[in-house]
Structure 1
């Protein structure tokens, strides 16, 4: 079984520089609640803040923040469109600048290691939720990484358990469906072969 905590630790341990993208405030109808977060590295993401143009914009800005100050200075000194080998750059300006000239409100904080996006979820960006979301983006240091893991540990410890007795085709299908919910799924079986190939999120128990 691979738990959410294990997946989080693996991402933080192997992704290099990582930014935390967190829903700080919401108004009206929004895809995710306040406190929902995702992690963004230069090449991968972990979690979601609801998808759509909102998420694309947040990922784009997070990757801009992941570029080191030295790399920013080097990029500023080069002619537009020229990127030197080994220098990271935001993957898409289209994602950060929605149609019709609308741009999210950007408030740099500190030494440009965090930023806030204030985004209306309407026709301006082609997202029909209708509410408004404030997204806080921060670079993750060791202390913040520990906080995230501790919070995930506490959340996982409080999950209700769902026990499924029997790992045949019905039990396997049921476990796969229930594992999508915020619960801890345990399949109990007497046959070792029936527990092979279970989804990563499902815990197994072999017992007579």
Structure 2
């Protein structure tokens, strides 16, 4: 969920909204710190802090605050077992901020900034709970939320992975749908214009190219590749090109272990070194899922990509190079 675009739209329609954020989470809890939802006066909401009784109570508290017109920040703590009867057993502290029409211009400014990617902000909280103007902090790498005395530091927007998908066959179509709700921006490439469906998810753009391998020159640094074209020769050409680009940390290809062996043989014969080959993943997906149904393969690949993304994010926070973390994830998944 893009937080500030959602808040901005709510302000235009309702004149107020409430931002609910998990400030801290101890022990077992439904969602992690920084999970958010935006609640509107009519009890509709976007996002989630984990569902269940915690979310139900948070919505009720937010709507009551909106009804009273209490603009500002307040904190609530919940012991999930004793207070809510949930089996998680952890403890969650939420920050609830009512944002009214007076913040419309600020919300609009932050919405425009967040549409371009993650944005970090800093604001001061007064003794009455009023949150001062949010100043944009560069770069956008602050915690999702941290309240230190009167200083409120937050990051809004998802860390999304640029994923370049080659091939618009049955599995490609299924994978685009599987990735639609996940934090990936998909560039979908095929040489056949009629292979693409009439409509695609909002996180996907289609590129028809007679030379799909040449499209790699337009891929941003750090993009991940998933290759599943209608031609094994084209698969090999795309992968060969990508493996010679150090800026591409993940080169995944649909196939079997036999296909992997043959591809590696050709790559080595072509002079590609072992360090580069460590970025090559074939077969892709969770090997514990054996079904060859397109939707099952897509679910398997999406789950594996999401696991690798989380591994890469953790490695980035600890300073481990992205390619190394992805290679490690590949080894441990076999």
- TM-score w.r.t. length of structure 2: 0.43
Give 3-state SS (helix, strand or coil) of 1:177's partner.
Answer: helix
On the 8 A contact 2:184/2:203 being kept in 1, the answer is no
Matched, 1:34 2:33: yes
Rounded Cα–Cα distance in structure 2 between residues aligned with 1:52 and 1:157: 24
Alignment of 1:140-155 (within 5 A): 140=99, 141-142=103-104, 143=106, 146-147=109-110, 150-151=113-114, 153-155=116-118
- Relative to total residues, which structure has the larger helix share, 1 or 2? 2
Rounded Cα–Cα distance in structure 2 between residues aligned with 1:58 and 1:146: 27
On the 8 A contact 1:31/1:50 being kept in 2, the answer is yes
> Which consecutive unaligned segments of at least 5 residues does structure 1 have?
70-110
Q: Superposition RMSD on alpha carbons, in Å? A: 2.8
Alignment of 1:75-90 (within 5 A): none
Rounded Cα–Cα distance in structure 2 between residues aligned with 1:187 and 1:24: 37
Matching residue of 2:201: 199
Higher mean alpha-carbon deviation, 167-176 vs 153-162, is at 153-162
> Which consecutive unaligned segments of at least 5 residues does structure 2 have?
119-156, 211-334
Higher relative contact order (CA closer than 8 Å, sequence separation 6+) = 1
Alignment of 1:105-184 (within 5 A): 113-122=72-81, 124-140=83-99, 141-142=103-104, 143=106, 146-147=109-110, 150-151=113-114, 153-155=116-118, 159-184=160-185
Q: How many residues align?
A: 163
- TM-score w.r.t. length of structure 1: 0.66
Higher mean alpha-carbon deviation, 53-62 vs 38-47, is at 38-47
On the 8 A contact 1:116/1:135 being kept in 2, the answer is yes
Bigger Rg over Cα: 2
On the 8 A contact 2:5/2:112 being kept in 1, the answer is yes
Rounded Cα–Cα distance in structure 2 between residues aligned with 1:148 and 1:121: 33
On the 8 A contact 1:167/1:194 being kept in 2, the answer is yes
On the 8 A contact 1:24/1:34 being kept in 2, the answer is yes
Rounded Cα–Cα distance in structure 1 between residues aligned with 2:79 and 2:113: 32
Alpha-carbon spacing, 1:150–1:66, altered in 2? closer, same or farther (3 Å):
same
Matching residue of 2:319: none
Residue 187 of structure 1: how far off its partner (Å): 1.5
